[in-house]
Amino acid sequence: MGSLTDIGVAAGINIVSALGFLLAFAVLRIQPINDRVYFPKWYLKGTRSSPRHLGSVFSKFVNADLSTYIRFLNWMPAALQMPEPELIEHAGLDSAVYVRIYLLGLKIFVPIAVLAFILLVPINWTSGTLENEKSLSYDQIDKLSISNLGKGSKRFWAHIVMAYVFTFWTFYVLYREYKVVTTMRLRFLANQNRRPDQFTVVVRNVPPDPDETVSEHVEHFFAVNHRDHYLSHQSVYNANILAGLVEKKKGLQNWLVYYENQHAKNPAKKPTMKTGLWGLWGKRVDAIEYYTTAIEELCKQEDEERQKVITDPNAIMPAAFVSFKSRWGAAVCAQTQQTSNPTLWLTEWAPEPRDVFWPNLAIPFVELSVRRLIMAVSLFFLTFFFMIPIAIVQSLANLDDIERMLPFLKPIIERNSLKSIVQGFLPGIALKIFLILLPTILMTMSKIEGHTSLSGLDRRTASKYYLFLFVNVFLGSVITGTAFQQLNNFIHQSANKIPEIVGESIPMKATFFITYVMVDGWAGVAAEVLRLKALVMFHIKNAFLVRTERDREQAMDPGSLDFGTTEPRIQLYFLLGLVYAVVTPILLPFIIVFFSLAYLVFRHQIINVYNQQYESGGQFWPDVQRRLVIALIVSQILLLGLLSTQEAEKSTVVLLPLPVLSIWFHYVCKGRFEPAFIKFPLQDAMVKDTLERANDPTLNLREYLKDAYLHPVFHKNDMYELVAIDEEEKNPLVATKRRSRMNTPVDSKFNSSSGTNEGEFNRMPPP
Amino acid sequence: MGSLTDIGVAAGINIVSALGFLLAFAVLRIQPINDRVYFPKWYLKGTRSSPRHLGSVFSKFVNADLSTYIRFLNWMPAALQMPEPELIEHAGLDSAVYVRIYLLGLKIFVPIAVLAFILLVPINWTSGTLENEKSLSYDQIDKLSISNLGKGSKRFWAHIVMAYVFTFWTFYVLYREYKVVTTMRLRFLANQNRRPDQFTVVVRNVPPDPDETVSEHVEHFFAVNHRDHYLSHQSVYNANILAGLVEKKKGLQNWLVYYENQHAKNPAKKPTMKTGLWGLWGKRVDAIEYYTTAIEELCKQEDEERQKVITDPNAIMPAAFVSFKSRWGAAVCAQTQQTSNPTLWLTEWAPEPRDVFWPNLAIPFVELSVRRLIMAVSLFFLTFFFMIPIAIVQSLANLDDIERMLPFLKPIIERNSLKSIVQGFLPGIALKIFLILLPTILMTMSKIEGHTSLSGLDRRTASKYYLFLFVNVFLGSVITGTAFQQLNNFIHQSANKIPEIVGESIPMKATFFITYVMVDGWAGVAAEVLRLKALVMFHIKNAFLVRTERDREQAMDPGSLDFGTTEPRIQLYFLLGLVYAVVTPILLPFIIVFFSLAYLVFRHQIINVYNQQYESGGQFWPDVQRRLVIALIVSQILLLGLLSTQEAEKSTVVLLPLPVLSIWFHYVCKGRFEPAFIKFPLQDAMVKDTLERANDPTLNLREYLKDAYLHPVFHKNDMYELVAIDEEEKNPLVATKRRSRMNTPVDSKFNSSSGTNEGEFNRMPPP
């Protein structure tokens, strides 16, 4: 346990480092050379081009206008200025709803913190049990926590009452927020322009038919069973080889453009290259000629492969995107069961075209169940056996043990300032390193589970990650110090002992979690805004690799909100806040600072930086709500356990209804709001259909939907806009334009082999 | 624990009593006077009328034909003869599927028993651990059980392997059975004649509208949102007062018919009656005149009330039955969400008209959630605190304790035969008495939960009852002897201790459960076929109350399969069988005898006796399957617990995958089959629609559906067929005719104020 001094030092370090990050950010963001790192979203929107200075070469790279330095914190109010409806239009509903999670944190914890500081802190402080028991070593911070009450104290009633107050306040805020988000989603869906996914349903597990191809089978099935509504369908091709060829051709085309640029700059000299590895060995040839031939070659190969994919019946997967004449027809098909065998002809809403995860479209039902079983078992092992290394590192971080093991280090360790630094930092960092390894593994597991949309994959990954964080960061940190093999312990403990053990160590871990909030939360958020990795990578790429305008655009890497990893981390703070609200309220201000800072930073990021890969319309909210309620229930059970060790057993019976009420609250909210995130109501579909029929009676829907769900490799073989690379550095640093001129969403990094650039492209003949 | 002798005595008693019941049944059923008790179904079908003898009055009541006594066990093969398709047509799919549960018991346990007796019993018997440890007192029966293996014996591997074999065999049988039942249900639905519920959806929580009545609102909503499919709708009235009046009028009409019969028999004498209480006091008046006036009076009152209900907007509940032009349209509406607020306009398949539970149609969403919360909490308390009296009674049944407490009883108790009888019987009977009180309470709780169909109520009651049986009969019997306050104990035990404690006492309770199977199972089933209660009640009513043919029909009381109480009891036998299959296989033959006997008896009963109130098409099967899998998992966990106390801990790790596999198996089956029990696939709907359009192009569906979902009190004010009461006793005992001549289902006791008799009736004007 750290003393108040330890916390002070850790807080100091973290505040300084956070401020350092923020200052660095404030300075770096106004340098023209970094403009594409800190404002990529505006570039993608097409409302900003590279800053140009009429002045010196120097001013192309460094901002010499001192007045801008004075206003270096301007970005903070600017981040808050954009009103929510505009934010939704600008960054999408997913992002707008996502930042509401941070706001929700403030809504829950600010009033709770105020109440706790007015009522609980004085009650704890004046109890003085710790002072009386001289045998115990205690910290100042423990005097503010529930530990300061003696066993069997009457003052516990205050905590019980506050547990009820906090719970009901949380219910109220959660219910209201769920309602607001639901309304936002419904309004968003209602206001959306015509989009292909509104008319389209993805059908999986099309059964094989001896007489018909998959495509014919799909057509006949839906023409019969949705007689008045079926419009058309799009088969799904297994186009992995083709995708590889397209990717390769794109690389060659890039080089071609590069050499053509070179030639244009210096028409006298024909650019040459070597044909060997990385252009270092081999015969020297005319570069433009070489690439032109190579591309032609590849085009032929590609055409052959394309023909093969289209004509080969084995390349057609037993899945299809089926489009309907109206949203009503699609809503009906997505929500109903098609045949008496519920494992065939599975229908669900098609994700947005850019949200589709193509490789998973053709997994049969039984294989899917087997995969999920294996992944569930793997997740269990991953969660419980990954813990062991963390525990080892953490026990190393216990300096007293190190002293005992390695006595020669004693003089170094005993120097007070160092000890504080190490004890403040090490445990948090040890955890942090482990956590970086994880999301990729979890995402792979979700992919194996067979979800068909990127948004679905993100949501599943988030669930897994939350389980992991809960067991390993939360429980692991609370328990490991006292008992090593958690799982084993838990199995051997009685059902009412588990909350007692965890609950009892909760107050003692407050210091650790305060440090964790500062290291992982404050500094983490400040680092997020600085985008150090993106900054470095951009400049490296810019210096060595950028050949064309398109290259520069790709080097930009705006990134996106990574729901799968960031949301579970926020949930951890909610969990900490709810657990410590009654026990050690001193933790709450740290969490509130985190939520405020994060809200500010992420609002700035979604406005200026991130480019979402897909738009799911806030579909993740039910998951957020569920995990919040879980956190609430965990906090209630731990409080129960804690109080029952304090010889206040009879009064704790009063706490028993809380978890029951919370579970009930969860089901009420689920029943009331969740369907809005899963189903599309027929009334809303009918309204939109009717409006559209009135506004646009001549619409040719078949033409509109024709290629929407074509596999991306068939889509476009685009050439890039041949913008001379020099042009773009002539623009000055323009003020951010808030009005977007672009309505069509940009293709995701994942699916796009092309982006939305116009150019020559071959449309695929309809299959 | 009882010795082999105890079991022998108990088995003897129970076999004798069961045989006694069966013999009594065999004799009683061929007496003409009991014909309506043992063959009511054929009367209701109209294929059988009262047996008439041309001979003496004596032969009207007693069967003097000795040859029939010789063939007194004829009913057994007869019960098995009817092939399943005919059984479905005769008794409905619910009944046919229900008896398959018993058959399923045989399919699971016969092979398991054979294997266990070949492999496990010799292994247990030859271990001889119990013989070596002289300090232990043991029974012969324990030598056949797993207790006979010493701690840490290598022979446990045989049990572990068998646990796997039994589990996979059970998986196989369960999967196959689910598949068969699903196919049966789908075929049943496909072959069904046109029925109103195929076209109808029940809508609940219609929101209030300031400008429109509920009826108008419903009409407009569906005419807009299901434009091409909406046909008509039927409002739901709150008609409780009216229902009372109708009931009262029916009583009076009954008396009128009775007196008219009297008058017809003896035209000279006008029948008279007294107007006071029960016809004992008051003025003597002409009975026919009196009742005619009274009925006229009541008719007026009824008409007024009917007008009031129809015109009063407050009497219309915010629910409606909405009918569609096609099954496809209804299937779509039932499976989709109508508006963005998922708590309004809730649609689901309408139950059959006779299956509707009218009072629950108008409960708003929030009230429903509150009701369910309260009922869940009540169920918890009911389950865990009802247990205390059982434990007291059972501890009284411990004769050694009684001897100690009341020493003067010692000489009586010590007489060996008496001791065996008491110890064999008492614990089983004590349980039995408690169980009789319960179903009504549970059904009331289900009604409060707000389910809208009788079949749904039955299913929910069964779930509750199963929980109760599991905790109180199974766990209660296993644990109570050793520890009183189960719940408290369990909370204070560690998670891995609970299976150990329960598992450890499992082998010791084998004797008790064998007795239980015999008392509750064998004798219970034998008593079921005798229908003692129905027999006595029929003769009492017949002697004192029967006035008209209709009275006699009502006195008949065919009863029905009471799914809510009988199914959980069967599940208890499955649980016992699965738990003891590995531990004490000697229990299995007793269970197999139970299943065989029950199969025979219930097949006989559904053919000859029971008259189902509703037909849900086997919708309960997912519940049956779920509880079976639960039993399987419980048996695996208990085996795990048991083995871990036998110092075979390392080998028990091998058992851990079993519960995981079972849970996975459950989800696979659920995904594969359950939708067929909840949703109606569009393809099947389309096929039936198309067929019907071809077969019956002129069908006026609106007319067909007009009054189908009218509240029963509005339906018909029927008069009864005025069959002279004497007529019916002139028919001889006819051989049961298997061919049914009736296609329309009989109204349930519950809803029908009328039955399907024809007669004068007032159609209600359309609202």
Of A123-132, A324-333, A356-365, B663-672, the one with minimum mean pLDDT is A123-132
Nearest residue to A455 via CA among A574, A347, A333, A350: A350
The conformation of residue B192, written as its DSSP 8-state character, comes to: P
Q: What ipTM was assigned to the predicted interfaces of this complex?
A: 0.72
B147, B205: one domain? no
pLDDT of residue B625: 93
Neighbours of B419 (CB within 10 A): 16
Residue A489 touches partner B, C-beta closer than 8 Å: no
For the residues of A392-457, what is the DSSP string, one character each? HHHHHT-HHHHHHH-GGGHHHHHSHHHHHHHHHHHHHHHHHHHHHHHHHHHHHHHHHHT-SBHHHH
pLDDT tens string B242-296: 777 887 887 777 777 777 777 776 777 777 777 666 666 667 777 778 888 888 8
pLDDT tens string B320-349: 888 888 888 888 888 888 888 777 888 888
Q: Are B573 and B594 in contact (CB under 8 A)?
A: yes
Residue B767 touches partner A, C-beta closer than 8 Å: no
pLDDT of residue A536: 78
Give a yes or no: residue A505 inside a domain.
Answer: yes
Bridge-partner residues for B348, per DSSP?
B202
Chain A to chain B Cβ contacts (< 8 Å): 133
CA distance B44 to chain A (A): 34
How far apart are the C-alpha atoms of A115 and A166, rounded to whole Å?
9
Element containing residue A67 per DSSP (H, E): helix A66-70
pLDDT tens string B202-241: 888 888 888 888 888 888 888 888 888 888 888 888 777 7
B557, B422: one domain? yes
Q: How far is CA A524 from CA A363, A471, A569, in A?
A: 39, 21, 11
Taking the CA of residue A427 as centre, how many other CA atoms within 13 Å lie in the half-sphere pointing to its CB? 30
Is pLDDT at A1 greater than 50 in this prediction?
Answer: no
How far apart are the C-alpha atoms of A672 and B365, rounded to whole Å?
9
Residues 6+ apart with CB under 8 A from A669: A174, A175, A178, A625, A629
Is pLDDT at B734 greater than 60 in this prediction?
Answer: no
Torsion over CA: A422, A428, A434, A439 (sign): negative
pLDDT tens string A500-520: 777 777 777 788 888 888 877
A664 vs A680, which has greater pLDDT?
Answer: A664
B204, B149: one domain? no
pLDDT of residue B666: 92
Q: Are B78 and B591 in contact (CB under 8 A)?
A: no
pLDDT of residue B50: 57
Is pLDDT at A14 greater than 70 in this prediction?
Answer: yes
Residue A485 touches partner B, C-beta closer than 8 Å: no
- SS3 assignment for B619-644: CCHHHHHHHHHHHHHHHHHHHHHHHH
pLDDT of residue A181: 92
Structure tokens at B376: 């869940």
How far apart are the C-alpha atoms of B105 and B569, rounded to whole Å?
13
Of A6-10, A686-690, B408-412, the one with minimum mean pLDDT is B408-412
Residue B282 touches partner A, C-beta closer than 8 Å: no
Is pLDDT at A631 greater than 60 in this prediction?
Answer: yes
B52 vs B664, which has greater pLDDT?
Answer: B664
Residue A373 touches partner B, C-beta closer than 8 Å: yes
Is pLDDT at B387 greater than 70 in this prediction?
Answer: no
Of A177-191, A638-652, B390-404, B616-630, the one with minimum mean pLDDT is B390-404
Residues 6+ apart with CB under 8 A from A251: none
A290, A240: one domain? yes
For the residues of A158-213, what is the DSSP string, one character each? HHHHHHHHHHHHHHHHHHHHHHHHHHHHHHHHHHPPP-HHHHEEEEE-PPP-SSS-
Structure tokens at B97: 């599927």
Q: Are B753 and B247 in contact (CB under 8 A)?
A: yes
Is pLDDT at B6 greater than 90 in this prediction?
Answer: no
Residue A134 touches partner B, C-beta closer than 8 Å: no
pLDDT of residue A518: 83
Q: Which of B371, B493, B683, B689 to mutate to test the interface with A (most CBs of A within 10 A)?
A: B683
pLDDT of residue A107: 92
Structure tokens at B284: 């003597």
pLDDT tens string B81-90: 778 888 888 8
pLDDT of residue B751: 40
Q: Are A323 and A330 in contact (CB under 8 A)?
A: yes
CA distance A412 to chain B (A): 45
Residues 6+ apart with CB under 8 A from A2: A10, A139, A141, A420, A423, A424, A511, A512, A515
B663-B665-B666 Cα angle (round to 5): 65
End-to-end CA distance of chain A: 69
Q: Are A235 and A310 in contact (CB under 8 A)?
A: no
CA distance B94 to chain A (A): 19
Give a yes or no: residue A694 inside a domain.
Answer: no
pLDDT of residue A140: 63
Mean pLDDT in residue range B600-609: 84
Is pLDDT at A764 greater than 70 in this prediction?
Answer: no
pLDDT of residue B409: 67
Bridge-partner residues for B321, per DSSP?
B202, B234
Of A191-205, A514-528, A753-767, the one with minimum mean pLDDT is A753-767
Maximum pairwise Cα distance, chain B: 94
Which B residues 175-234 touch A at CB under 8 Å? 186, 221, 224-228
Domain-ending residue, one of A291, A317, A351 = A351
B479 vs A637, which has greater pLDDT?
Answer: A637
**Which of B122-136, B387-401, B525-539, B591-605 is the most confident on average?**
B591-605
CB nearest B331 (choices: A336, A492, A684): A336
pLDDT of residue A66: 63
Residue B495 touches partner A, C-beta closer than 8 Å: yes
Averaged pLDDT score across all residues of chain A = 76
Give a yes or no: residue B729 inside a domain.
Answer: no
Structure tokens at B494: 């560690």
Mean pLDDT in residue range A609-623: 85
CA distance A315 to chain B (A): 27
Residues 6+ apart with CB under 8 A from B146: B124, B159, B507, B582, B583, B584, B642
Domain-ending residue, one of A639, A664, A684 = A684
Give a yes or no: residue B292 inside a domain.
Answer: yes
pLDDT tens string A447-494: 888 888 888 899 999 999 998 888 877 887 777 543 345 556 666 666
pLDDT tens string B541-592: 776 666 666 666 666 777 777 888 888 989 999 999 999 888 888 889 889 9
Bridge-partner residues for B299, per DSSP?
none
A398, A305: one domain? no
pLDDT of residue A178: 93
CA A523 to chain centre: 19
Nearest residue to A505 via CA among A395, A645, A389: A645
Task: Tell me which residue range forms the domain holding A636.
Answer: 4-193+366-684
Averaged pLDDT score across all residues of chain B = 75
Tell me if residue B274 falls in helix, strand or coil: strand
Confidence tier at B641 by pLDDT (50, 70, 90): confident
**DSSP H helices in A485-620:** 486-492, 497-505, 510-516, 524-530, 532-544, 549-556, 563-583, 587-608
Residue A757 touches partner B, C-beta closer than 8 Å: no
pLDDT tens string B658-688: 999 999 999 988 888 888 888 888 888 888 8
A237, A324: one domain? yes
What is the domain count for chain A?
2
CA distance B331 to chain A (A): 8
Nearest residue to A128 via CA among A115, A142, A111, A116: A142
Specify the residue for token string 């709708």: B233
Share above pLDDT 70 across residues of chain B, in percent, rounded to a whole number: 73
Counting every residue, how long is chain A?
767
Give a yes or no: residue B307 inside a domain.
Answer: yes
How far apart are the C-alpha atoms of A736 and A747, rounded to whole Å?
23
Share above pLDDT 90 across residues of chain A, in percent, rounded to a whole number: 10
Domain-ending residue, one of B325, B351, B377 = B351
Confidence tier at B496 by pLDDT (50, 70, 90): low
Of A333-342, B467-476, B662-671, B736-745, the one with minimum mean pLDDT is B736-745
Give a yes or no: residue A50 inside a domain.
Answer: yes
Is pLDDT at A530 greater than 80 in this prediction?
Answer: no
The crossing angle, in degrees rounded to 10, of helices B416-449 and B4-29 is 60
Residue B728 touches partner A, C-beta closer than 8 Å: no
B208, B187: one domain? no
Structure tokens at B267: 């035209």
Mean pLDDT in residue range A672-690: 83
Q: How far is CA A351 from CA A348, A354, B211, in A?
A: 9, 8, 40
Structure tokens at B104: 């399923």
For the residues of B727-745, what is the DSSP string, one character each? GGGG---PPPP------SP
Give a yes or no: residue B710 inside a domain.
Answer: no
Is pLDDT at A727 greater than 50 in this prediction?
Answer: no
Is pLDDT at B518 greater than 80 in this prediction?
Answer: yes
B588, B497: one domain? yes
pLDDT of residue B364: 75
A612, A676: one domain? yes
Confidence tier at A112 by pLDDT (50, 70, 90): very high
What pTM did the predictor assign? 0.77
Neighbours of B120 (CB within 10 A): 22
Give a yes or no: residue A327 inside a domain.
Answer: yes
Confidence tier at A577 by pLDDT (50, 70, 90): very high
How far apart are the C-alpha atoms of A446 and B560, rounded to whole Å?
50
pLDDT of residue A421: 65
Cross-sheet strand order for the sheet of A316-324: A230-237, A316-324, A200-204, A346-349
Of A612-616, B180-184, B713-717, the one with minimum mean pLDDT is B713-717
How far apart are the C-alpha atoms of A167 and B306, rounded to whole Å?
50
pLDDT tens string B543-552: 666 666 666 6
B158, B240: one domain? no
For the residues of B485-504, what is the DSSP string, one character each? -HHHHHHHSBTTHHHHHHHH
pLDDT of residue A48: 64
B343, B370: one domain? no
pLDDT tens string A346-382: 888 888 888 888 878 777 777 888 888 899 988 888 8
A569, A582: one domain? yes
CB nearest A336 (choices: B336, B340, B671): B336
Mean pLDDT in residue range B613-629: 89
Tell me if residue A2 falls in helix, strand or coil: coil
pLDDT tens string A76-105: 777 777 888 888 888 888 888 998 999 999
Torsion over CA: B38, B43, B44, B47 (sign): positive
pLDDT tens string B155-186: 788 888 889 999 999 999 999 999 999 988 88
Q: Are B357 and B453 in contact (CB under 8 A)?
A: yes
**DSSP H helices in B312-415:** 327-335, 365-385, 387-396, 399-405, 410-414
Mean pLDDT in residue range A140-146: 68
Tell me if residue A738 falls in helix, strand or coil: coil
Mean pLDDT in residue range B40-63: 61
Counting every residue, how long is chain B?
767
Residues 6+ apart with CB under 8 A from B409: B402, B403
Neighbours of A559 (CB within 10 A): 16
B306 vs B69, which has greater pLDDT?
Answer: B306
